[in-house]
Amino acid sequence: MKTYILHGKPIALKRARITKFGSYDPQRKEKGEHRALLYNQRGNIMPISEGPLELVVTFFMPIPKSTPKKKKLQDTFHFKRPDIDNLIKYILDVSQGVIITDDSLISTIIADKVYDKEPRTEFTIHKVE
């Protein structure tokens, strides 16, 4: 079971934008960069193509600068925006084709949002037994 890490503030999936010229993905560049990072972390492991799979993900959100120094937020739950479901959708979108062949293989999701000094996303995808 391999743990994948995306450093930086966790990103929520944004909807595709529709204009009079067609539709476009406003996160195309970010997704491409994160797919490349996951591809490098994956090594020579082939994408998982058989399910059912379980996604276990922890989103480490940045501690707001306005937080008083006396107040300890490290390792406490984050319950503000962005929504956890949009964060999960972004991870599944980026993982598709790199770690898994299709995000429909995911049958179980365990997710947390917590505060941390170093914002990042850590997740594993493995077969359900």
Question: If you average pLDDT over every residue of the chain, what do you get?
Answer: 90
The answer to the question of residue 19 being in a domain is no
The answer to the question of residue 8 being in a domain is yes
Nearest alpha-carbon partner for 13 in 1, 29, 31: 31
Global pTM reads: 0.89
The answer to the question of residue 94 being in a domain is yes
Nearest alpha-carbon partner for 45 in 4, 86, 78, 13: 4
The domain that holds 88 is classified in CATH as 3.30.1330.70
Mean pLDDT of 95-124: 94
The domain tally of the chain equals 1
The answer to the question of residue 112 being in a domain is yes
The answer to the question of residue 111 being in a domain is yes
Tell me the per-residue pLDDT of 67-108, one tens digit each, with 9 for 90 and over: 777 677 666 888 889 999 999 999 999 999 999 999 999 999
Q: What is the pLDDT of residue 54?
A: 96
